[in-house]
Amino acid sequence: MGAPKIARAEAIKRIALVFRKYGYDGTTLSLISKTTGLGRASLYHHFPGGKEEIAREVFRVTGQQVYELVIAPLKREGTPKERLGEWVKGVDHFYAKGRNNCLLGTMVLSGGLNRFPDIIEEAFQAWIEALTHTLVDAGLDEAEACERARSAVARIQGALIVSRGLGNEDHFQKTLKILPDQLLEGFK
């Protein structure tokens, strides 16, 4: 009795999508149970810390996904322009062409910021710093690169919200398309 119903990694990936769609407060253990196929009680076997521990695991696994799709392309070989091109592809894929929310943005506005402020701040910083480094390689000075990097991250967050509010992802797509050129403007 009691064969594993789902691999832990697969469970966390599914749960992550629930958090991104419904926010921290909106993600109930019942929803998590439904998504994973595990009974509410079984969830406490895998995650004794309950909802908070589940959320921390979601941050961890999502952070890995983001690293592979969004951070790593910025640190690979190639010109800054080439690296930003791969970065855009990773961003587009991670957000499913604008249909999926950002875990960070959603957490910020749905009850997660109070509980995980350090995790959220560090995740934003990691993304901004990787972008900044690429822009410095392109010839921008540190301050200007950092400012443009923050702006790019913010524009993606905002584009996701506006696209969601307007009911279509066109604005997200347009924003993503022009971002590399705008980031490198004057330094191409």
Tell me which residues touch a second copy (CB under 8 A): 22-23, 25-26, 101, 104-106, 108-111, 113, 117, 120-121, 123-125, 147, 150-151, 153-159, 161-162, 164-167, 171, 174-175
Out of 13, 46, 89, 115, the residue judged to bind DNA by CB under 7 A: 46
Q: Does 50 bind DNA (CB under 7 A)?
A: yes
> Terminal CA-to-CA distance of the chain, rounded, Å?
63
Q: H-helix or E-strand containing 161?
A: helix 142-166
The rounded distance, in Å, linking the Cα atoms of 163 and 152 is 16
Residues 65-124 binding DNA (CB under 7 A) are none
Residue 165 binds which entry of a second copy, DNA, none, CB below 5-8 Å type-dependent: a second copy
Residue 48 binds which entry of a second copy, DNA, none, CB below 5-8 Å type-dependent: DNA
Distance of closest approach, residue 127 Cβ to a second copy, in angstroms: 10
Residue 9 binds which entry of DNA, a second copy, none, CB below 5-8 Å type-dependent: none
Distance of closest approach, residue 57 Cβ to DNA, in angstroms: 13
CA 128 to chain centre: 12
Q: H-helix or E-strand containing 34?
A: helix 29-36
Q: Does 34 bind DNA (CB under 7 A)?
A: no
Helix residue ranges, H only, 27-141:
29-36, 40-46, 50-66, 72-75, 80-94, 103-109, 117-137
Q: Which is nearer to a second copy, 42 or 124 (CB)?
A: 124
Q: Does 22 bind DNA (CB under 7 A)?
A: no
Distance of closest approach, residue 130 Cβ to a second copy, in angstroms: 15
The identity of residue 107, as a single letter, is: M
* Token couple for 50: 């309950």
3-state secondary structure of 6: coil
Out of 18, 38, 104, 145, the residue judged to bind DNA by CB under 7 A: 38
Contact 66, 94 (CB under 8 A): yes
* Token couple for 127: 């993304």
On the CB side of 124, CA atoms within 13 Å amount to 20
Q: Which residues lie near DNA (CB under 7 A)? A: 1-6, 27-31, 37-42, 44-46, 48, 50-52
